[in-house]
Amino acid sequence: MSRVSKIFIDGEAGTTGLEIRQKLAGQPGIELISIDPERRKDPQARADMMREADLVVLCLPDAAAKEAVAIMDGLGADAPRVVDASTAYRVDPDWVYGFAELAPDQKARIAAAKRVSNPGCYPTGAIALLRPLVEKGLLPRDYPVTVNAVSGYSGGGRQMIEAYEAGAAPSFELYGLGLEHKHMPELQSYAKLTRRPIFAPSVGNFRQGMIVSVPLHLDLLSGGAKAADIEAALSEWYGQGGLVTVAPTAGIERIEAEALNGTDRLELCVFANDARGQAVLVARLDNLGKGASGAAVQNIGIMLGL
């Protein structure tokens, strides 16, 4: 009989935790264990659950995630492996970044890792577009990148969800205008950019779905790269049959955010006008799928060899 791995989701009542639990429920080789709701903030009760678990998923705010890691540090040899969905450790060198398609060896690094940081939803789209172009020498590392993005309101936490579902929130809102968004460090680091990008996130009145777009001036790219070169570079990087795909764009002039809802897919598009020397790169995903819980479940599967 194959071994069953016990998984404890610390913070399972939140949006991401609920999604992860739903995706894992009934999966062969996995047993979900839960803490008594009345003791979910009790450090000893949490430590007991962590000691019993083979893998812990942290679906907590940054400060609480750090507290959870401190509890696990105190368990010594009994400490479980962990996937952290917060931003607390995404650029920590002692953690492996949980974007399996980031580089050819990233999946193997995740499989061997004790601690994996789950990517942010916005960086997932932006890094997927930019990292291959930097690696292949098409996009200079100091290119003045701008990332524009819109997400469904489910990515904003309980208060935002309640406000939108009560009809008390605007139809569309640009935010992060202090230019200090918490996703910026991982975006710049894993896209391998030396110049800090400008990131302009927004939220729309739809529950889930996301579009991340990056406008480019082709004459600023290396070697006179054209749209076909960009598309070829992305297609070669991600190959066929995976969760990340490059979609054709011929004849398409509009794209909407909700088409991939309920999936763990990430779709990349290159819209361009070579005559004008301009392009817009677009990543589309479900912010609760490949942008959050779907990525976490993918990482859990890799780590546990499922």
Same domain as 142, residue 47: no
pLDDT of 295: 96
Contact 113, 80 (CB under 8 A): no
Percent of residues, the chain, with pLDDT higher than 90: 86
Amino acid at 145: V
What span, in angstroms and rounded, lies between the C-alpha atoms of 68 and 268? 35
Q: How confident is the model at residue 13 (pLDDT cuts 50, 70, 90)?
A: confident
pLDDT at 125 over 50: yes
pLDDT at 189 over 50: yes
Catalytically annotated residue among 24, 56, 110, 121: 121
Instruction: Count up the domains in the chain and report the number.
Output: 2
Same domain as 134, residue 112: no
Same domain as 39, residue 99: yes
Domain that holds residue 248: 121-287
What span, in angstroms and rounded, lies between the C-alpha atoms of 44 and 71? 9
pLDDT tens-digit profile of 234-274?
Answer: 999 999 889 999 999 988 999 999 999 999 999 999 999 99
Whether 121 is catalytic = yes
Same domain as 203, residue 112: no
Q: How confident is the model at residue 299 (pLDDT cuts 50, 70, 90)?
A: very high
Which CATH number goes with the domain that contains 90?
A: 3.40.50.720
Same domain as 274, residue 142: yes
Q: Is 192 left (phi over 0), alpha (psi -120 to 50) or beta?
A: left
Contact 119, 295 (CB under 8 A): yes
Enumerate residues 6+ apart whose C-beta is below 8 A from 166: none
Q: How confident is the model at residue 51 (pLDDT cuts 50, 70, 90)?
A: very high
pLDDT at 8 over 80: yes
Same domain as 214, residue 74: no
Same domain as 180, residue 160: yes
- Looking only at the bridges linking them, the beta strands covering 81-84 and 55-58 are parallel
Question: What pTM was estimated for this model as a whole?
Answer: 0.94
Same domain as 281, residue 182: yes
Same domain as 33, residue 13: yes
pLDDT tens-digit profile of 191-201?
Answer: 999 999 999 99
pLDDT of 147: 98
pLDDT tens-digit profile of 52-87?
Answer: 999 999 999 999 999 999 999 999 999 999 999 999
Enumerate residues 6+ apart whose C-beta is below 8 A from 150: 172, 201, 202, 203, 204, 210, 211, 257
Same domain as 280, residue 159: yes
Enumerate residues 6+ apart whose C-beta is below 8 A from 237: 131, 132, 135, 136
Instruction: Report DSSP state, residue 2.
Output: P
pLDDT of 1: 44
The candidate with the shortest Cα–Cα distance to 53, out of 11, 12, 93, 82, is 82
For the chain, the residue count is 306
Same domain as 112, residue 247: no
Same domain as 209, residue 162: yes
Which CATH number goes with the domain that contains 200?
A: 3.30.360.10
Mean pLDDT, residues 32-51: 90
The terminus-to-terminus CA distance of the chain in angstroms comes to 14
What span, in angstroms and rounded, lies between the C-alpha atoms of 265 and 258? 12
pLDDT of 2: 62
pLDDT at 98 over 60: yes
